[in-house]
């Protein structure tokens, strides 16, 4: 059993399977895997004694959950209106070029993934890029490599 799977099994010892525990369980699961793998969703449904469709129903309702593997460092380029006006489209292209992957993809070594988001609530510092929970404002295309290099050391 993988280390992650063992940690995942330990989650269940902290809960009783009550309905209100579903979201914390999903959050704990995502903290381990970085997303919600299908086999984990099955195990959660069994533990909670509810249909798997109900677990997915709750998880998809909230924007915080992911259903496919992401990079260790998830790059999110905001393409909301304020960021778009400030050149976020060109910024996304610069990330795609520098990372060698398209939006919605993950690097071969799983170090980075690239995705678009719509307004992260920081329009005053548009265009905005998030790397995990870190927020970068006024990002110009020429800073893309500099931002990536910060996290490349930790890959
Ligand atoms: S549109 Fe990008 S932060 Fe609001």
On whether the pTM is more than 0.85, the answer is no
Whether residue 89 contacts residue 104, with contact meaning beta carbons closer than 8 Å, is answered with no
Give the Å distance between the CA of 87 and the centre of ligand 1. 12
What's the mean per-residue pLDDT of the chain? 93
Mean pLDDT, contiguous 10-residue spans, the chain (155 residues): 89 95 96 92 97 95 85 93 97 96 92 93 97 95 95 80
Q: Is the C-beta atom of 122 inside 6 A of ligand 1?
A: yes
Q: Which domains does the chain have, with CATH numbers?
A: 2-61 (1.10.10), 73-153 (3.40.30.10)
- The pLDDT assigned to 1 comes to 65
- Asked if 98 and 143 count as a contact pair (C-beta separation under 8 A), the reply is no
Pocket of ligand 1 contains residue 120 by CB under 6 Å = yes
Query: How confident is the model over 76-101, as pLDDT tens digits?
Result: 999 999 999 999 999 999 999 999 99
Nearest to 118 by CA among 85, 148, 76: 76
Quote the pLDDT of residue 62: 81
Residue 7 is predicted with a pLDDT of: 94
What is the whole-number distance in angstroms between the Cα of residue 28 and the centre of ligand 1?
Answer: 28
């Amino acid at each position: 059993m993988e280390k992650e799977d063992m940690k995942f099994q330990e989650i269940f010892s902290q809960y009783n399977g009550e309905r209100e525990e579903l979201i914390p369980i999903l959050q704990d699961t995502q903290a381990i895997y970085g997303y919600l793998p299908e086999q984990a969703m099955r195990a959660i449904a069994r533990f909670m004694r509810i249909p798997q469709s109900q677990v997915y129903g709750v998880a998809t309702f909230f924007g915080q959950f992911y259903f496919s593997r992401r990079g260790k460092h998830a790059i999110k380029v905001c393409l909301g209106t304020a960021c778009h006006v400030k050149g976020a489209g060109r910024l996304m292209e610069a990330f795609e070029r520098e990372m060698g992957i398209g939006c919605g993809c993950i690097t071969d070594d799983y170090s980075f993934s690239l995705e678009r988001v719509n307004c992260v609530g920081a329009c005053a510092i548009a265009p905005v890029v998030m790397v995990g929970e870190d927020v970068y404002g006024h990002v110009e295309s020429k800073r893309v490599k500099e931002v990536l290099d910060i996290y490349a050391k930790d890959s």
